[in-house]
Chains A and B, each alone.
Chain A
Amino acid sequence: MYGSGEGVRPPYHAVAEWLGTQALGDLRQKLADAETMFRRTGITFAVYGSEDTSERLIPFDIIPRIISAAEWRKLAAGIEQRVRALNAFMFDIYHRQEIIRAGKVPEELIVSNSAFVPEMMGVSVPLGIYSHIIGIDIVRTGESDFFVLEDNTRTPSGVSYMLENRETMMHMFPDLFARNRVAPVENYPENLLKTLESVAPTGLKGEPTIALLTPGQFNSAYYEHSFLADQMGVELVEGRDLAVIDGYLQMKTTQGPRRIDVLYRRIDDDFLDPLVFRSDSVLGVPGLFDLYRAGRVTIVNAPGGGIADDKAIYSYIPEIIKFYTGRAPILQNVPTYNCRKADDLKYVLEHLPELVVKEVHGSGGYGMLVGPTASSSEIEAFRAKLTANPSNYIAQPTLALSTSPTMVEAGVAPRHLDLRPFVLVGDEVRMTAGGLTRVAMRAGSLVVNSSQGGGTKDTWVLQD
Chain B
Amino acid sequence: MLGRTANDLYWLARYVERAENMARLIEVGYRIVLLPRDGEGAHEEWRSTLASAGCAQGFFDKHETLSTRDVINYLLFDCTNPSSVKSCLAAARRNGRAQRTSLTRDMWESLNAAWIEFSAIKPESVTAGELPRILDWVRSRSALYRGAMLNTILRNDTFFFMQLGTFLERADNTSRILDVKYYVLLPHVEMVGSGIDAVQWAAILRSVSAHRSYRWVYKENYKPWRIAEYLILNQAMPRSLRSCYEQIGVTLDDLAEYYGGQHACHGTATGTRQRLAKGDIDNIFQSGLHEFIEDFISRNNRLGNEVADAYHFNG
Which A residues have a C-beta under 8 Å from some C-beta of B?
A: 39-42, 216-217, 222-223, 226-227, 229-230, 235-238, 240-241, 251-256
State how many angstroms separate the Cβ of B270 from the closest Cβ of chain A: 20
* Pairs A-B, 7 closest by C-beta atoms: A230-B101, A226-B100, A254-B311, A252-B315, A254-B6, A217-B98, A254-B1
Question: A40, A42, A217, A241 — which one has the most chain B CB atoms within 10 A of its CB?
Answer: A42
Q: Could you say which of A42, A222, A235 contacts B112, with CB atoms under 8 Å apart?
A: A42
* A443–B223 alpha-carbon span in the complex (Å): 75
- Closest residue of chain A to B315, judged by CB? A252
Q: Is the CB of B100 within 8 A of A241?
A: no
When A42-B108, A240-B315, A241-B315 are in contact, do A252 and B3 touch as well, CB less than 8 Å?
yes
Cβ distance A135 to chain B, nearest Cβ, rounded Å: 23
Q: Are B101 and A254 in contact (CB under 8 A)?
A: no
Binding site for A on B (CB under 8 A): 1-6, 94, 97-98, 100-101, 105, 108-109, 112-113, 116, 157, 259, 311-312, 315
In the complex, A241 Cα to B8 Cα: how many Å?
A: 13
Known contacts A241-B4, A252-B3, A254-B311; 15 additional CB pairs below 8 A are A40-B109, A41-B105, A42-B97, A42-B108, A226-B100, A230-B101, A236-B101, A237-B2, A240-B315, A251-B2, A252-B315, A253-B312, A254-B2, A254-B157, A256-B312
Closest Cβ neighbor of B160 among chain A residues: A254
Q: Which of B5, B6, B100 has the most CB of A within 10 A?
A: B100
Please tell me if the beta carbons of A253 and B3 are within 8 angstroms of each other in the complex: yes
- B116 adjacent to A39 (CB under 8 Å): yes
Chain A binding surface SS class:
mixed
Whether A255 pairs with B4 at a CB distance below 8 angstroms is: no
- Using Cβ atoms and an 8 Å threshold, which residues of chain B touch A40? 109, 112-113
Please, how many angstroms separate the alpha-carbon atoms of A379 and B101 in the complex?
46
Residues in A whose Cβ lies below 8 Å from that of B3: 241, 252-254
Please, which residue of chain A has its CB at the minimum distance from the CB of B7?
A254
Closest beta carbon of chain B to A233's beta carbon, Å: 9
* 19 intermolecular pairs with C-beta atoms under 8 Å apart: A40-B113, A41-B105, A42-B100, A42-B108, A216-B98, A217-B98, A226-B97, A227-B100, A230-B100, A235-B1, A241-B2, A241-B3, A241-B315, A252-B2, A252-B3, A252-B4, A252-B315, A253-B3, A254-B5
Among A40, A216, A253, A256, max chain B CB count under 10 A is at: A253
Query: In the assembled complex, which residues on chain A have CB atoms less than 8 Å from the CB atom of B94?
Result: 217
Q: Which residues on A sit within 8 Å (CB–CB) of B4? A: 238, 240-241, 252
- Expressed in whole angstroms, the minimum distance between the Cβ of A224 and any Cβ of chain B is 11
Which residues of A have CB within 8 Å of B97?
Answer: 42, 217, 222, 226
Q: How far is the CA of A223 from the CA of B97 in the complex (A)?
A: 9
Once bound together, how far apart are the Cα atoms of A238 and B315, in whole Å? 12
* A217 contacts across to B, CB distance below 8 A: 94, 97-98
Are B1 and A253 closer than 8 Å at their CB atoms? Answer: yes
Is the CB–CB distance between A41 and B98 below 8 Å?
Answer: no
Bound Cα distance A254, B311 (Å)? 4
A237's nearest neighbour on chain B, judged by CB, is B2
Residues of chain A within 8 A of B6, CB atoms compared: 254
Min Cβ gap B205→A in Å is 37
Asked whether A252 lies within 8 Å of B98 as measured between CB atoms, the reply is: no
Nearest CB on A from B251, distance (A): 14
Residues from chain B with Cβ under 8 Å of A222 in the complex: 97
Minimum Cβ distance to chain A for residue B198 (Å): 46
Assuming A42-B100, A217-B97, A230-B101, is B116 touching A235 (CB within 8 A)?
A: no
Contact A254 B98 (CB under 8 A): no
Partner of B2, one of A41, A216, A253: A253
- B221 CB, nearest partner CB in chain A, Å: 48
Give, as a whole number of angstroms, the nearest-CB distance from A188 to chain B.
Answer: 17
Q: Which residue of A lies closest to B112 (CB)?
A: A42
State in angstroms the CA–CA spacing of A235 and B4 once bound together: 11
On chain B, the residues within 8 Å of A253 by CB distance are 1-3, 312
- Tell me if B109 and A254 are in contact (CB < 8 A): no
Contact between chains at B1 and A41 (CB < 8 Å): no
Per the bound structure, the CA–CA distance linking A253 and B311 in Å amounts to 8
Bound: A254/B98 CA distance, A = 17
Which single residue of chain B is at the shortest CB-CB distance from A243?
B315
Report B162 CB to chain A, min CB distance, Å. Answer: 13
Q: How far is the CB of B165 from chain A (nearest CB, A)?
A: 14
A251 to B6, CA, bound (A): 13
Smallest Cβ-Cβ distance to B6: which chain A residue: A254
Chain A residues, CB < 8 A from B109: 40-41
Residues from chain A with Cβ under 8 Å of B105 in the complex: 41
Q: How far is the CA of A47 from the CA of B196 in the complex (A)?
A: 57
CA distance A251 to B108 in the complex (A): 25
A39 to B109, CA, bound (A): 9
Give the CA-CA distance A235 to B3 in the complex, in Å: 12
Q: How far apart are B113's CB and chain A's nearest CB, in angstroms?
A: 6
- From A232, which residue of chain B is reached at the shortest CB distance? B101
Contacts of B2 in A (CB 8 A): 235, 237, 241, 251-254
Q: Which residues of B contact A223 (CB under 8 A)?
A: 100
Q: How far is the CA of A198 from the CA of B100 in the complex (A)?
A: 27
Asked if A252 and B312 sit within 8 Å, CB to CB, the answer is yes
Contact, CB under 8 Å: B259 / A254 = yes
Question: Complex Cα distance A256/B259, Å?
Answer: 11
How far does the Cβ of B3 sit from chain A's closest Cβ, in whole Å?
5
Q: How far is the CB of B103 from chain A (nearest CB, A)?
A: 9
Bound Cα distance A12, B266 (Å)? 65
Taking the nearest CB of chain A, how far is it from the CB of B159, in angstroms?
A: 13
Shortest Cβ distance from A45 into chain B, in angstroms?
A: 13
Instruction: Kindly report which residue of chain B lies nearest to residue A212, judged by CB atoms.
Output: B101
A236 to B2: give the CA distance in the assembly, Å: 9
Rounded to whole angstroms, the CA-CA distance of A39 and B116 in the bound complex is: 9
The distance in angstroms between the C-alpha atoms of A216 and B97, with both chains bound, is 10
Chain A residues with CB under 8 Å of B312's CB are 252-256
Nearest neighbor of B95 in chain A, beta-carbon distance = A217
Q: Which residues of A contact B108 (CB under 8 A)?
A: 41-42
- Min C-beta distance of B222 to chain A, whole Å: 44
**Residues of B contacting A216 with CB < 8 Å?**
98
Question: Which residues of chain A are within 8 angstroms of B112 by Cβ–Cβ distance?
Answer: 39-42
